[in-house]
Amino acid sequence: SPILGLERVPDPVRATRRARRVRDETVGAAAERFYAEPPQIERGWGALLIDTQGRAYVDLVNNVTAIGHSHPVFADRVARQLNLLNTNSRFLYDAFAEFSERLLAHSPDPSLDTVIPVNSGSEAVDLALTLARVATGRRDVIAVRESYHGWTSAADAVSTSAFDNPHAADSRPAWVHLVDAPNAYRGRHRGPDAGAAYAREVADLARTLTDERRPAGAFICEPVLGNAGGVIPPAGYLVAVAEAVRADGGLMISDEVQVGYGRLGDAFWGSTLQGLVPDIITVAKAAGNAYPLGAVLTRREIVDALAREGTFFSSAGGTPVSAVAGTAILDIIDDEGLQQNAARVGRVIADGVRALSERHPLIGAVHGTGLYLGIELVRDHVTLEPARDEAARVCDLLLGRGFIVQAASERQNVLKVKPPLVLTERDARRFVDALDAVLGEVD
Ligand SMILES: Cc1ncc(COP(=O)(O)O)c(C=O)c1O
């Protein structure tokens, strides 16, 4: 009970049964949850999750909690602010200014000098699309297949992941135009020219749209394809896309909700890693460490275009508590060197899994960088047939060994590795060993 922070731990079997039944009944069939037989998690600490039986799991999937679970500095600062004031951002208070300045201090370029706080990634993407529309006067948007950008109507419109919506590719509204995911491992273009080849497709589409008198107002994508399992676009892709889109007067939206905030290790932003200064950046998840906070980072003149249409207000966006949460997270990422930890510990996992691939033919590729990795499992290295069932089995067996990992991508054959950035090297090595053992069973 003291470990879980509960006065009295309920009977684990009965409590879990109740939690599942009530949750499934109250939320309904569309709600996603992990595992057919999920543990009941009631406590977190660092990169660990602890269930009601007192068992600790290494949390390898929770990119929402970048600074880790129950971070004491975060908890104290948020609790202190909750005891002082929480209200909406129409009032003047210092926390709002402090968060905006702190986020701007991480801006990848002086041109991105304006912040609008919101309360989720979906809201940030929705706002980014609105900003692009009002700034360019254009409705049409180019989006990338196999992506997920959120659930609000506009964010959903540019989301095409067949896993989240099997009919996505055929049911986009007329203003959304799709290009292939720039995946040089299993996509149509591979090899050293893949980046240029994928970018040419975007340029061709942009030109066609202009010829049809509906030029694209924006191109939106994740700078590292998180939803596809951490696939890094081939070299030169985003820069070439930006050149083509901007030549026609469109804006580049970099959705950094999953991959930004230091997770990639070598850069704070995914777009920086790709050599791109976007026009609009969206953040969430890590920005609030599971507290509802997102933000849009952009240029002043783009926000000014929104002001011509009216005012912008989101009740829970940038409240004193969420602003304090956002500032605390950026402080902790910097003070504890979490971006550097992501680079170091991520390398331990990537190198370890690449070494395993010599013994385990199921491993087809290790995507990503830092602590956003995707371990792609395939049945055949030539056909790249996705090992979907094997991936599900690996996840179940890893759970038994105390590691929480989930499969990602359209094909559900990529093991996502996106833990809190506080993951230790020791736990990283233990994970590689556990994966070795589990692959031995599944092979
Ligand atoms: C890349 C990306 N953009 C946007 C979103 C939406 O964020 P939220 O769930 O906070 O609305 C997600 C959520 O998974 C995401 O992965």
Residue 64 alpha carbon to ligand 1 centre in Å:
10
Q: Using the atom order of ligand 1, give the atom closest to the CA of residue 285.
A: 10
pLDDT of 153 strictly over 70 = yes
Contact 326, 319 (CB under 8 A): no
Q: Using the atom order of ligand 1, give the atom closest to the CA of residue 284.
A: 10
List the residue whose alpha carbon is closest to atom 9 of ligand 1.
Answer: 121
Cα 389 to chain center, whole Å?
Answer: 24
Between 189 and 12, name the one with better pLDDT.
Answer: 189
pLDDT of 126 strictly over 70 = yes
List the residue whose alpha carbon is closest to atom 15 of ligand 1.
Answer: 149
Q: Give the list of residues 6+ apart from residue 112 with CB closer than 8 angstroms, or none.
A: 104, 277, 278, 281, 297, 298, 299
Ligand 1 proximity of 253 Cβ (cutoff 6 Å): no
User: CATH fold of 12-63+337-442, please?
Assistant: Aspartate Aminotransferase, domain 1 (3.90.1150)
**Mean pLDDT of all residues in the chain?**
93
Q: What is the mean pLDDT of residues 395-406?
A: 96
pLDDT in tens, 365-380: 999 999 999 999 999 9
| Longest pairwise C-alpha distance within the chain | 68
Ligand 1 proximity of 150 Cβ (cutoff 6 Å): yes
pLDDT of 396 strictly over 70 = yes
**Predicted confidence band of residue 31 (pLDDT cuts 50, 70, 90):** low
Ligand 1 proximity of 244 Cβ (cutoff 6 Å): no
pLDDT in tens, 237-253: 999 999 999 998 999 99
Percent of the chain with pLDDT over 70: 96
**Predicted confidence band of residue 134 (pLDDT cuts 50, 70, 90):** very high
Ligand 1 proximity of 103 Cβ (cutoff 6 Å): no
User: What's the rounded Cα separation, in Å, for the pair 20 and 33?
Assistant: 10
Q: Give the list of residues 6+ apart from residue 175 with CB closer than 8 angstroms, or none.
A: 139, 140, 141, 157
User: What's the rounded Cα separation, in Å, for the pair 397 and 362?
Assistant: 15
Ligand 1 proximity of 297 Cβ (cutoff 6 Å): no
Of 19-23, 38-42, 89-93, 321-325, give the range with the top mean pLDDT: 321-325
Ligand 1 proximity of 126 Cβ (cutoff 6 Å): no
- The pair of structure tokens assigned to 371 is 């602590």
- Cβ-based neighbour number of residue 318 at 10 Å: 27
Contact 367, 376 (CB under 8 A): yes
- The pair of structure tokens assigned to 57 is 């799991």
Q: What is the mean pLDDT of residues 414-427?
A: 98
User: What's the rounded Cα separation, in Å, for the pair 333 and 260?
Assistant: 12
Helices (H) and strands (E) in the chain, counts: 13, 15
DSSP codes of every residue in 218-280 = EEEE-SSBTTTTSBPPPTTHHHHHHHHHHHTT-EEEEE-TTTTTTTTSS-SSHHHHTT---SE
Residue 1 alpha carbon to ligand 1 centre in Å:
34
- The pair of structure tokens assigned to 438 is 């589990």
Exposure string (b/e) for 118-146, b if CB count within 10 Å is 16 or more? bbbbbbbbbbbbbbbbbbbebbbbbbbbb
Of 125, 126, 161, 227, the residue with max ligand 1 atoms within 8 A of its CB, to mutate for a pocket test, comes to 125
**Does 12-63+337-442 match 72-335 in CATH topology?**
no
Ligand 1 proximity of 257 Cβ (cutoff 6 Å): yes
Amino acid at 309: E
Q: Which of 129, 211, 137, 246 is nearest to 176 (CA)?
A: 129
- CATH number at 72-335: 3.40.640.10
List the residue whose alpha carbon is closest to atom 2 of ligand 1.
Answer: 149
Ligand 1 proximity of 233 Cβ (cutoff 6 Å): no
**Predicted confidence band of residue 431 (pLDDT cuts 50, 70, 90):** very high
The reported pLDDT for the residue numbered 149 is: 97
User: What's the rounded Cα separation, in Å, for the pair 348 and 339?
Assistant: 14
Ligand 1 proximity of 387 Cβ (cutoff 6 Å): no
Contact 227, 409 (CB under 8 A): yes
Ligand 1 proximity of 63 Cβ (cutoff 6 Å): no
Ligand 1 proximity of 284 Cβ (cutoff 6 Å): yes
pLDDT of 73 strictly over 80 = yes
The reported pLDDT for the residue numbered 439 is: 98
Ligand 1 proximity of 149 Cβ (cutoff 6 Å): yes
User: What's the rounded Cα separation, in Å, for the pair 80 and 387?
Assistant: 48
Ligand 1 proximity of 136 Cβ (cutoff 6 Å): no
Contact 67, 371 (CB under 8 A): no
Place of tokens 């087809």: 364
The reported pLDDT for the residue numbered 171 is: 83
Q: Where are the domains of the chain?
A: 12-63+337-442, 72-335
User: What's the rounded Cα separation, in Å, for the pair 226 and 416?
Assistant: 9
Ligand 1 proximity of 77 Cβ (cutoff 6 Å): no
Between 63 and 27, name the one with better pLDDT.
Answer: 63
Residue 159 alpha carbon to ligand 1 centre in Å:
10
pLDDT of 267 strictly over 90 = yes
Residue 68 alpha carbon to ligand 1 centre in Å:
19
Instruction: Please report, in angstroms and rounded to a whole number, the separation of the first and last CA atoms in the chain.
Output: 39
**Predicted confidence band of residue 9 (pLDDT cuts 50, 70, 90):** low
